[in-house]
Homo-oligomer: A and B are copies of this chain.
Amino acid sequence: MSERKASGGAGRATIRDVAERAGVSVASVSRVLSGNYPVSDELRRRVMKVVRDLDYVTNAHARSLAGGGTPTVAILINNITGAAFAHVAKGVEGAASLRGWLSLVGTTGDDPERELALVNLMRQQGVAAVVLLGGAYDFDEYQLRMARFARSLDAAGSHLVLVGRPPLEGDVAATTVDYDNEGGAYAMASHLLSAGHRRVLVLPGHSELTTAQGRLRGARRAFEAYGVPFDPGMVLHGPYDYGHGYDAVEESLRRELDFTAVLAGTDVVAAGAMHALRGAGLRVPEDISIVGYDDIPLASQLTPQLTTVHVPYEEMGRAALRAVADRREGGAGRRGGGDGAHLVLGTHVVVRNSVQPPARRS
């Protein structure tokens, strides 16, 4: 029995305890466990028995300190609630655990300061990559800060992956996994226009959010393509939530805005909008058509089922992790910025039951 520590008591068994009890050296135990060195069957058997008896597990901190260790990927998100996030996270986590990697999550709560602190924390943890989810803010200072993060992470042998937002400007060592946001909005708006709608209430989201900007741009382009004048007065900005959809429609109704369709920036916004329309005695889609964006499960669970834009969120998560893993395997010497890969996945309209040609107005 060791005199350093009562091996049967509390606390964690060390590799030394195992070695002592098995009557072998520490090095041998390590070799048996990692299996990257030839050991005799006899030794292996003896060591493994003690490992089981003591219920020994290696200390991950010590292991990573010594060079080994399982890679970890950090997922940063403003709000862990929210179906779109969940699917990206599922993709990342799934792909990570498939390779034996770990996933850390942190929430930023829309607070840039907190985001900064978290990235730093993750850097301390020595994560293989930091995956930043969701639309970015279009402030100069924000962009600069993010670029500094990217460099900093890169210098530490880690990597920044931006998911669902446009790439950073300049020569920054960050990978971007994005979807065709504007194209989806274009297609969605075109669908509405080709059904005959001309007066459309547009709820793109917060005006500083890059996602919202892209969706608005796509919609406007579609109007131009159809030769329909785009009325800025029909655009209401606000957060991506149920309440905003509800409030925006209610206010538009109160102000007697003339519209036959609602182009919502998000399925959840669409749900809120739908509720407000119903509350005002309007039928969907008979009186007003409505479309969403994201194609989260909610979209097909509403009544009527929502026509929306499908975004391959889970696949984006997988792609993000794949990018990091490839980079880590392939490029041992290509450090130093400048190789910001940029992936763009496609989107497409999912036609369901929330759109009809506009009714003749009374």
Contacts and interface: CB of A to CB of B under 8 A. Distances in A.
Given A57-B123, A268-B301, 16 more contacts: A11-B155, A12-B155, A58-B124, A59-B126, A60-B124, A60-B125, A60-B126, A61-B64, A70-B121, A86-B86, A93-B107, A104-B104, A242-B297, A278-B303, A298-B301, A303-B303
Contacts of A121: 70, 102
Contacts of A157: 10-12
A124 B298 contact: no
Contact of A102 (B79, B125, B156): B125
Contact of A61 (B126, B278, B298): B126
A217 interface: no
Interface of A: 10-12, 55, 57-65, 69-70, 79-83, 86-87, 89-90, 93-94, 97, 102-107, 120-121, 123-126, 152, 155-157, 242, 268, 271-272, 274-275, 278, 297-298, 300-303, 335-336
Nearest to A336: B10
A86 B63 CA distance: 32
Contacts of A83: 81, 83
Contact of A301 (B65, B80, B106, B302): B302
B86 A156 contact: no
28 contacts: A10-B155, A10-B336, A12-B156, A12-B157, A57-B124, A58-B124, A59-B65, A59-B124, A59-B126, A60-B124, A61-B64, A61-B65, A62-B65, A70-B121, A80-B90, A80-B93, A81-B83, A89-B105, A90-B107, A102-B121, A242-B297, A242-B300, A272-B301, A274-B303, A275-B303, A298-B298, A302-B303, A303-B303
Nearest to A125: B60
A293 to B, nearest CB: 16
A41 B195 CA distance: 72
B107 A97 contact: yes
A156 B11 CA distance: 5
Nearest to A271: B301
* A64, A80, A87: most-surrounded residue (chain B CB, <10 A): A80
Nearest to A72: B104
Contacts of A126: 12, 59-61
* A11, A157, A298: most-surrounded residue (chain B CB, <10 A): A298
Contacts of A105: 89, 93, 103-105
A103 B102 contact: no
Contact of A106 (B63, B93, B268, B274): B93
A98 to B, nearest CB: 11
Contacts of A104: 102-105
Contacts of A11: 155-157
Nearest to A297: B242
A268 to B, nearest CB: 8
Contacts of A12: 126, 155-157
A302 B335 CA distance: 50
Given A12-B157, A97-B106, A86 B90 contact: no
A165 to B, nearest CB: 21
Given A69-B61, A102-B125, A121-B102, A86 B80 contact: yes
A326 to B, nearest CB: 19
A298 B278 CA distance: 17
